[in-house]
Structures are given as C-alpha cells and as structure tokens.
Amino acid sequence: MNVERYIRIMAGLVVMLSLAVGYHGSPIFVSEWFLALTAFAGFNLFQSGITGFCPPAGLLKKLGVPEGGGACSTGKAR
C-alpha cells in the first residue's frame, strides 16, 4: 500500500469512529463532542486538497511507506 491509501483509510476510520461515538442513536454513544472530530477530519481533507500539505503523509514517508501512484491509476501508461 502507498501513502495515499493509508491516509484515506485513516481519514475514513476517524470519521466512522467519531460518528459512532458522537451520534445519539449509536449503541456506543459517548458524547456529541466527538462530532467535532468528524468536522476536523473533513476540514483537514479539504485543506489538504487545496494546499497539498498533509502532515500524516510526511510521517508515513519518514516511516518508509512508498508514495506510489494515485488511487484511481490503473498502473498503465496513458
């Protein structure tokens, strides 16, 4: 797996978990304040798309995760 896939997995996990513990109808509800974490993840995805700056990407690269191609690439030259 590459950096982009790890970041998508991490962002999706943060959103799903924060919704699960922040939504009243959830069996694992803790507090509505966890919905702020959902908003924070969404904001970071937005700013990363605009600026190209993503702190987890730098950390993953330092840990040796390959950059790789885009998630939608087929691996074939166009």
Question: E-strand spans in 1-78?
Answer: none
28 lies in which domain range?
Answer: 3-62
Q: pTM of this prediction?
A: 0.79
pLDDT tens, per residue, the chain with 78 residues: 999 999 999 999 999 999 999 999 999 999 999 999 999 999 999 999 999 999 899 999 999 999 876 655 555 544
Query: How far is Cα 19 from Cα 38, in angstroms, rounded to an integer?
Result: 7
Residue 74 falls inside a structural domain: no
> Tell me, what's the pLDDT at 5?
94
Per the structure, how many domains does the chain have?
1
- The number of C-alpha atoms within 13 Å of 66 and in the hemisphere containing its C-beta is 5
Structural domain includes residue 46 = yes
